[in-house]
Structure 1
């Protein structure tokens, strides 16, 4: 999944969904400059979070699909859905 998504433009719905999933996994919205996670940097934090993930891969795939559905809904509600 990472290889496929990383090859997409950053504004592609799957890239946005992957970012949303990682923001949730890493708890980025609760991060601040005084925390160790922030001092490591976002890329290191993301690698650490996924490396220490205790669930099965299907859990991450479900989280990605949930984020993808939310991104799609958001884009449709605002008439921003990409054209095929």
Structure 2
């Protein structure tokens, strides 16, 4: 249904759709994006989720450093802000 209305910008081995750009019906990029992640997931929370069996060894390994959700959101807002009319 949405295959032709978004452009995949980013994916990972454990998440097939991480970032998208929304397209018009004609396939032109619109000033609209989407990202998927958990901004609340600090390193301690990620390690606890692994200990409890909620995430796999592969997912844990993908978090090599501190997962700074606030910085990710701030960077995303900066990029999107460049396209405001």
Please give the TM-score of this superposition, normalised by the length of structure 1.
0.30
Identify, as 1 or 2, the structure richer in helix: 1
Identify, as 1 or 2, the structure richer in strand: 2
Q: Over alpha carbons, which structure has the higher Rg?
A: 2
Please give the TM-score of this superposition, normalised by the length of structure 2.
0.30
